[in-house]
Structure 1
Amino acid sequence: MAPNDVHTALWPAPHASGAVDATVHVPGSKSVTNRALVLAALASEPGWLRRPLRSRDTLLMAGALRTMGVGIEEGVGPDGTGESWRVLPAGLRGPATVDVGNAGTVMRFLPPVATLADGPVLFDGDPRSYERPLHGVIDALRVLGARIDDDGRGSLPLTVHGGGALDGGLVEIDASSSSQFVSALLLSGPRFNQGVEVRHTGSTLPSMPHIRMTVDMLRAVGAQVDSPESGGEPNVWRVTPGALLGRDLTIEPDLSNAQPFLAAALVTGGKVVVPDWPARTTQPGDRLREIFTEMGGSCELTEYGLEFTGSGAIHGIDVDLGEVGELTPGVAAVAALADSPSTLRGVAHLRLHETDRLAALTKEINELGGDVTESADGLHIRPRRLHGGIFHTYEDHRMATAGAIIGLAVEGVQIENVATTAKTLPDFPGLWTGMLEA
């Protein structure tokens, strides 16, 4: 198949003939894998990442770090089982060219790393990446002493002129459009001469669990971090300069990527088990247990993992998804099949994600016969009898999985460019059909 055919090809979304009953091994977390790669690359000694996610976004991150001189060796882990990556920190260097694809973590986490490189680092990516905001990182790095050429766009493409070090210190940013602006500065902060103090000045801050994930992972590799959760000032994070330790880290399953499989249990009145679901995690996807239970399911967390069961009924929900915005497409898909209306709030920032997710969800569900309207910060969804049709994905992995959820209950749904799911979930079609055939 020619490259362009991949984007226009239509995948017939499988229709469920009955209740699913399956165990689904969900690959590792993209958010944890990419943060772990950055921290391991900045460490003072080698480290291991066990069971990392191999997807477009994580391979872009690994490739970018390699171009700046970091050694990343793929092979069997130190315990002799499973795939692992050995990360060998080195003196960061330029000139280098980084392809960010359309990965928010790569385009935002690596410019601060590039300030520590000895030479220029050019960042470029997919056409859609040019539309995603980077001003929060660019402006902050300039305040902290970096030299960046972006022709005043506040977006890609851009060049970071690394000087081998960065002064660091205090910076105020408005991270209302993406919590990744805060995480980006914190991850490299221990390597800045004065560390970093990040003060968020905006009125809202989406996806706080992702910032808590960053803080937890920094502390796990020896960084000293003061944060609001640990008694610090609201909206202020301080990272002390110091060496980072190389660690042996096992990557958790990506709980947000478990969403379509749990949704399948809810939609079909079946049961899905996700092994290795952590008892304690900072991943936003852990909220699925609460959200999908309220929508009509039940769950039990055992030593083996999470067992989620649908009741055969799907209820509407009124929910603020501000901290877990990435779950919105999947929740919207389930809500379109519910027995009562839903209101999804707190997610205005989704207009700046891989695509404008609010506009995309509204258009695609309505074209299947739905009744979805946008609000200032979310969606109102009134369930209607849906029909088949083409569900466009806008090169957005979570749009593709949302369409697959609807396809379980609605015959004739065709997903355009299901291959985009490889961004975070390799072989989604295989996992999906395997679940239905189990």
Structure 2
Amino acid sequence: MGDNGDMNNAPAESAAHWSAPTAPAAVRASVRVPGSKSLTNRALVLAALADSPSTLTGTLRSRDTELMIGALRSLGAHISGDGDTVTVAPGPLHGAEIDCGLAGTVMRFVPPVAALASGESVFDGDPAARTRPQSTMLDALRALGVGVDGNALPFRLTGTGRLAGGEIELDSSASSQFVSGLLLAAARFDQGLRIRHVGKGAVPSQPHIDMTLEVLRSVGVDARSPAEGVWEVAPGPIAGHDWVIEPDLSNATPFMAAAAVTGGEVRIPLWPLSTTQAGDAFRDICVQMGADVRWEDVDESAGVATCVVTGPPALGGTTSGLRGTTLDLSAVGELTPTIAALAAVSTGETSLRGIAHLRGHETDRLAALAAEIRGLGGQVDELEDGLRIFPRPLQAGTWHAYADHRMATAGAILGLIVPGVMVDDIASTSKTMPDFTGLWDAMLTGGEK
């Protein structure tokens, strides 16, 4: 979808439709979700720019992280390890051809790294990625003295092996990734970097910038936000680090939603007691919609616990026991597809606001969610900055994923209590969760995978 919200990534019919399983009873299971994509890709970038080798344990291995590994290898980093433990040894950076796929973190985090390389780098990706906003990052690099040809994928940039840095202004209201991408490389700039947001709208997904600042500080970088909309990174070395990657809490939300809509209980072990991940906010959202969320098996020394979600009794048919609500999701927009699925089977009207920036994600998620819920018989008003969803009986039909992993999992959630839902591209979940269907099936049989 383009920034104007037009459906330029319209769904295509496919022979590989997945029949979303309907839960035979209230779901009861324990689910171990793989590592955080956001933390994995930030750690990989910092490890490639460090002054000594790093090890990442609990690394997510998915399409997005494999694309990041491939990009950093192409630029000169030495990365080894086939499982969830990965070793990264920095090397001299040189120009390369970079495949971004549909990964926003690759297309926004890697260009500042390539700007520190010697030579020309060429970036391209999936056709749908060519419509995603990118000019903010490329204009920022131009302002820092980097030669850039193009304003979106595909584009070229030429690095000279160093970057002066300094102060820049940018409108980052389309994505927090523009800020994070620049901050991650900024310690290697001669003068560091000071960014000031000058857009009319607020920067979305602020927790992701907080995460970036935290991971920078964990490797010895002086990184701070001295005022709202201002971020600073001082020049200096980036230390090699042994990272332990947290479970991906946003990827945990479809499984938590399964408990919420079926009146069941799902346990997510190793949930961090303190985290900057946006997915942590889903615990409070579940409670606001009528579910119960609690900690069990708390391990203070390890900083983790088991998150237990218990849903209210389902009311029968295609109606859960959840209640409608009003939410500002500006800080946690990535949770919107999961919450929209809950809203479509709740007992009252739900209003989701502050998420206009979702029009520039893997697809225009607002238009896509409205179209697909309506396609199952639901009622949705598409707002300028969100959605208004009304409870209606839903029916069987095809749920189009638009090559978007979070759209695909939203369809799976609805399929739990709406018989006959077909998801046209469940394989899109490999972007961040390569064995989603295996985890989903294990959850429905009460096992653990």
Q: Distance in 1 between matches of 2:292 and 2:420?
A: 29
Q: Offset at 1:311? A: 1.6
Match of 2:278 among 256, 270, 284: 284
Q: Distance in 2 between matches of 1:428 and 1:225?
A: 35
Q: CA RMSD in A?
A: 1.1
**Cα distance per residue 1:345-381 (max 9 Å; x no partner):** 0000000000000000000000100001111100000
Against the structure 1 CA distance between its residues 350 and 8, is the aligned structure 2 distance closer, same or farther, given a 3 Å change threshold?
farther
Aligned to 2:350: 342
- Find out whether 1:428 has 2:436 as its counterpart: yes
Q: Distance in 1 between matches of 2:436 and 2:142?
A: 40
Q: Offset at 1:226? A: 2.2
Structure 1: tracts of 5 or more residues without a match: 77-82
Aligned to 1:262: 256
TM-score normalised over the length of structure 2: 0.92
**Cα distance per residue 1:257-279 (max 9 Å; x no partner):** 00110000000101001110000
Q: Distance in 2 between matches of 1:7 and 1:248?
A: 43
- Find out whether 1:406 has 2:407 as its counterpart: no
SS of the equivalent of 2:81 reads strand
In structure 1, what residue type is equivalent to 2:34? P
Aligned to 2:136: 136
- Find out whether 1:192 has 2:193 as its counterpart: no
Q: Offset at 1:305? A: 1.5
Contact 1:48–1:86 (CA<8 Å) still a contact in 2?
Answer: yes
- Find out whether 1:243 has 2:237 as its counterpart: yes
Q: Offset at 1:225? A: 1.2
In structure 1, what residue type is equivalent to 2:412? A
In structure 2, what residue type is equivalent to 1:85? V
Aligned to 1:173: 170
**Cα distance per residue 1:322-359 (max 9 Å; x no partner):** 00000000000000000001000000000000000000
Q: Distance in 1 between matches of 2:198 and 2:14?
A: 40
Aligned to 1:70: 77
Structure 2 counterparts to residues 89-168 of structure 1, below 5 A: 89-94=90-95, 96-150=96-150, 154-168=151-165
Match of 1:14 among 21, 24, 31: 21
Q: Offset at 1:6? A: 11
Structure 2 counterparts to residues 34-45 of structure 1, below 5 A: 34-45=41-52
Aligned to 1:80: none
SS of the equivalent of 1:322 reads coil
Q: Distance in 1 between matches of 2:309 and 2:393?
A: 26
Q: Offset at 1:296? A: 1.2
In structure 2, what residue type is equivalent to 1:267? V
- Find out whether 1:50 has 2:57 as its counterpart: yes
Q: Distance in 2 between matches of 1:377 and 1:319?
A: 12
Contact 1:273–1:307 (CA<8 Å) still a contact in 2?
Answer: yes
Structure 2: tracts of 5 or more residues without a match: 1-11, 299-304, 314-320
**Cα distance per residue 1:163-191 (max 9 Å; x no partner):** 10011110000000001010011000000
State how many pairs are aligned: 420
**Cα distance per residue 1:147-176 (max 9 Å; x no partner):** 1111xxx21101110110011110000000
In structure 2, what residue type is equivalent to 1:168? G
**Cα distance per residue 1:192-250 (max 9 Å; x no partner):** 111000000112110000000000000000100121xxxx1221111000000011011
SS of the equivalent of 1:281 reads coil
SS of the equivalent of 1:362 reads helix
Contact 1:269–1:310 (CA<8 Å) still a contact in 2?
Answer: yes
- Find out whether 1:298 has 2:292 as its counterpart: yes
SS of the equivalent of 1:361 reads helix
Structure 2 counterparts to residues 73-92 of structure 1, below 5 A: 73-74=80-81, 83-92=84-93
Q: Distance in 1 between matches of 2:114 and 2:15?
A: 36
Q: Distance in 2 between matches of 1:75 and 1:428?
A: 19
Q: Which moved more, 1:261-270 or 1:5-14?
A: 5-14
SS of the equivalent of 1:49 reads strand
Q: Offset at 1:7? A: 5.3
Against the structure 1 CA distance between its residues 6 and 388, is the aligned structure 2 distance closer, same or farther, given a 3 Å change threshold?
closer
TM-score normalised over the length of structure 1: 0.95
Q: Distance in 2 between matches of 1:252 and 1:328?
A: 21
**Cα distance per residue 1:70-101 (max 9 Å; x no partner):** 0011057xxxxxx310000011112x100000
Match of 2:204 among 206, 209, 223: 206
